Amino acid sequence: MFFLAFALCGGALWFIFAPSAPPPPPTVPVTLADIEDTVLATGKIEALKMVSVGAQASGQIKSLKVGLGDMVKKGQLVAEIDSLTQQNALQTAQASLETSRAQRRAKEAVLKQAELAFKRQQQMLAEDASTRESYESAEATANETKADIAALDAQIQQAVIAVDTARVNLGYTRITAPIDGTVVGVVVKEGQTVNASQTTPTLIKIAQLDKMTVKAELSEADVIRVKPGQQVYFTVLGEPDRRYEAVLRAVKPAPDSIADEDSTTSSSSSGSSGSSSSSSSSSSSSAIYYDGLFDVANPEGKLRISMTAKVTIVLKSVKGALTVPSTVLGHPNPDGSYMLMVAGGPGRIAPRRVRIGIDNNVNAEVLAGLSAGERVVAGDMSKPASSQSNTMRPPPPPMGF
């Protein structure tokens, strides 16, 4: 009896303290969902067309006809510059033109008289009533008068050009809108003096805001996968739940920094070899971005210049695809397929070869090997199981001798 009681107690202790069987591994279902392969970028919203309206005439701003936010039409008067100097220049040019024309009329009268005198000398010389000298003198006077008239014609032409130039300069004092749009910037104030002798000063800026252009910065790692014609959508900070859709119009072949390349090269070559090497090293370590451009309608006017856009470029998309989480894939086989562990009946798990399509690092498209509703083991099953799951239960104590 003693040995029987000892055996029964030992068996009970073994069942109490023996390690339990490892729980089944967690699984995830194979589901139907829409999946996209995308490129993410940060974009900046700009006006489709924006013009800086400048002044080609120097002087004081006499009046500004528009204000910030005003809608303007092409040809509408937006500003006037004091035009007294230009008016005086026009009047001077017109007076010079009239003087040249009056001189020509006077010469025409002289020419008429010279031609009559020359004609009389011809008749008199034919009748031996005049000398050859008188004849030649009359002829020279007529020809000289004709030359004077030709010179006056050239002066008149120059005077006409001067009048036209003065009239154009006077027109420059009335600045008109070159396009339809909205005034997005007013640079000067009434009473301010502008000088257009060297550079054209900007008075106002007009932009077309009914359609905007988004300039998305694409990294050099992503730009090789992006091309015009791909679908694009973006959101802005003020409306994160509203999606604006468009089509990629163009991808710039070079980064914006190429505009500074000449100046950077010249400054590097003028310095010492050490500084040139340092400059080259710093420029090569900076990130390179290429601009992707697309346009979007803005009928409500909510999109504004310089807004930040969170841009998504769709490289490929599939509707209603079989998908599994990307975390279950593990490492691919040499042929590109994946070996996944598929749960069968209770306690049964079997490996299965699966082909994968789109993988956006969140979900992966299943092309072959799985069906909707099946469950696959979550995580990479290519690693060996834990030591606890492989531990054998100790044998029960002996029942007796």
pLDDT, one tens digit per residue, over 316-328 is: 999 999 999 999 8
31 shares its domain with 107: no
86 and 165 in a single domain? The answer is yes
Question: What are the tens digits of pLDDT across the range 286-303?
Answer: 789 999 999 999 999 899
Whether residue 254 is contained in a domain is answered as: no
CA-CA distances (angstroms) from residue 124 to 21, 131, 145, 295, 321?
147, 8, 22, 88, 115
User: Are residues 32 and 88 part of one domain?
Assistant: no
Looking at the structure, tell me whether residues 87 and 170 fall in a common domain.
yes
Which residue, 31, 28, 39, is CA-closest to 317? Answer: 39
Does residue 217 lie in a domain region? no
Distance CA 298, CA 284 (A): 39
Residue 200: per-residue pLDDT: 85
Number of domains in the chain: 2
pLDDT of 123: 87
Q: Averaged in consecutive runs of 10 residues, what is the pLDDT profile of the chain (401 residues)?
A: 54 53 78 92 94 92 93 95 93 95 92 88 82 87 91 95 95 94 93 87 94 95 93 94 95 84 54 46 68 94 94 93 90 91 81 91 91 83 42 42 32
Any domain includes 246? no
Q: Is residue 366 part of a domain?
A: yes
Q: Is residue 43 part of a domain?
A: no
Residue 62 lies in a domain: no
Q: What is the CATH number of the domain that holds 353?
A: 2.40.420.20
CA distance 4 to 8: 6
51-75 pLDDT per residue, tens: 999 999 999 999 999 999 999 999 9
Domain assignment present for 106: yes
Tens-place pLDDT, residues 220-271 = 999 999 999 999 999 999 999 999 999 999 999 998 887 766 555 555 555 5
Per DSSP, 397 falls in state P
Range of the domain at 149: 81-174
Identify whether 194 is part of a domain: no
pTM beyond 0.75, yes or no:
no
List, as one string, the DSSP characters of 330-391. -SPPTTS-EEEEEE-STT-EEEEEEEEEEE-SSEEEEEES--TT-EEESS-TTSPPPHHHHP
